Amino acid sequence: MTKAVLVHHTGGPEVLSFEEHAVGAPGAGQVALRQTAIGLNFIDTYQRSGLYPVQTPFVAGNEAAGVITALGDGVSDFQIGDRVAYQGVIGAYAGERLIAADRIVPVPDAIDDQTAAAILLKGLTAYYLLFQTWPLAKGESILWHAAAGGTGQIATQWAKALGATVIGTAGSDEKAALAKAHGCDHVINYNTEDFSAKVRELTNGRGVDVVYDGVGKATFDKSLDCLRPRGLMVSFGNASGVVAIPDITVLARKGSLYVTRPTGVHYYSQRTELLTGAKALFAAVADGSIKVQIKHSFPLAQAEEAHRALEDRQTTGSVVLIP
């Protein structure tokens, strides 16, 4: 048995239930983990609320780091005692768990467990967005919404290291200052400025090459006005609500724009892709291209409070839960 946070029915943060949970022994192709740090992500809130349907009951969470305590039959790439991490596999809010060995990655000695748990999902999101969805080139310009958030801080630093001009948005002057310190050349407080007009001003009327938007409904329409002709709108999250485009000809009117709605499920379905992304991410942290800020941590038993803080925009940078 272990302590875990379960969702028996979807709803607000109050549905998160901290309770005893049976684990069992690893089956073929699985390992058992003793988890040391768990990442908090917006996808956790989407699954908890029912926006992203998951059959109940389920253990919440999608990212963690820990130590292998047992191996199932057929596992040859890992040993008991190895430090590993994973992302995109539901069931993370627990002291112990079982997981398929092909979904975990080794954690280098230079990366501590809390950092690994804080960055893997967000960092791999940044990796596929910057290197695959739109292979960002030196001299290009981007707009990144919620630049002070966990994914935003990782991505804007990485984009800057690639030689891009990085424009970020944030919801307060404090968050704007934080984003400026983490890779943004310019930061727009969207609560006090018209961000689309400001982007046009900063780009001398041209617009940016690509917009990365994890906010969703509240920013989508005006983000289209920030793009140059034939630029790309990347909508990768729904923090403010789900985006809908009732009239697709808006893309033609605003410059023959492209729109995509990617997800890591399709970028990391193969183990080789997962290992490539994780290797690049850990290397960028090790060489200083990405500096990680873990601004908040909560005991796992306080997952409800952590969800409230995340959804109320009370957090900056990465957040971890400690079993």
What pLDDT digit, counting tens, does each position of 90-133 carry? Answer: 999 999 999 999 999 999 999 999 999 999 999 999 999 999 99
pLDDT number for residue 189: 96
pLDDT number for residue 246: 83
Q: How far apart are CA 313 and CA 172, in angstroms?
A: 10
pLDDT number for residue 134: 97
Give how far Cα 93 sits from Cα of 50, 78, 174, 221, 307, Å: 17, 23, 30, 35, 12
pLDDT number for residue 318: 85
**CB neighbours of residue 121 within 10 Å:** 28
Q: Which residues of the chain have pLDDT under 50?
A: none
pLDDT number for residue 192: 94
pLDDT number for residue 258: 98
pLDDT number for residue 273: 96
Asked if residues 35 and 66 have their Cβ atoms less than 8 Å apart, the reply is: yes
Q: Read out DSSP for 25-83? A: ---TTEEEEEEEEEE--HHHHHHHHTSS--PSSEE--SEEEEEEEEE-TT--S--TT-E
pLDDT number for residue 60: 98
Asked if residues 212 and 147 have their Cβ atoms less than 8 Å apart, the reply is: no
pLDDT number for residue 239: 77
Considering just the CA atoms, what is the radius of gyration of the chain in Å?
Answer: 20
